[in-house]
Amino acid sequence: MADSPRVLVLNGPNLNMLGKREPEVYGHTTLADVDARCASVGESLGLAVTCRQSNHEGELVGWIQEAREQQDGLVINAGAYTHTSLALHDALRASDLPVVEVHLSNIHRREDFRRHSYVALAAVGMICGLGPLGYELALQALAERFRSAAAGTP
């Protein structure tokens, strides 16, 4: 649709391994399955969704910088960069976009070092522990945010 709000779904390092390793932690769904589901759920919510994955911090920063001009919202699972990357934090803050952070696993039930997120400081909200459903819920949250902004309601 021409005027659909645009949302970039970004996945960080190692998420290309989804469904191929550690199914006991991350499940059997592949990243291609997640991307396909985001596209179809996005369409049903009236969103134009683009999905990208990178194992490289600088590439993710570049895509976030581009998103400032080209997108209306961002869903991000930054993988391990969540817990380390001030560069992603700064890029997300500078994007001025509504950001929803997603994690497949419940980062609060795992090692202590996963409890801190540099992404969360730049996000409107975070969904974790619900597996791939988290991406759909994040898209739903953004769609609702765009709808209420367009209607002028809080």
Determine how β-strand 48-53 pairs with β-strand 73-77: unpaired
As measured in angstroms, the least distance from the Cβ of 97 to ligand CA2 is 20
**Euclidean distance between CA atoms 49 and 42, whole angstroms:** 6
Nearer to ligand CA2, 18 or 92 (CB): 18
Which residue has 């989804």 as its token pair?
18
Nearer to ligand CA2, 135 or 146 (CB): 135
Q: Which residues are catalytic?
A: 26, 103
Name the H helices within 45-108: 57-70, 86-95
Quickly count: other Cβ atoms within 10 Å of residue 130's Cβ. Answer: 15
Q: By CB under 6 A, tell whether 140 contacts ligand CA2.
A: no
Q: By CB under 6 A, tell whether 17 contacts ligand CA2.
A: yes
Nearer to ligand CA2, 124 or 131 (CB): 131
Q: By CB under 6 A, tell whether 145 contacts ligand CA2.
A: no
DSSP code of residue 97: S
Q: Which of 53, 54, 82, 95 binds ligand CA2 (CB under 6 A)?
A: 82
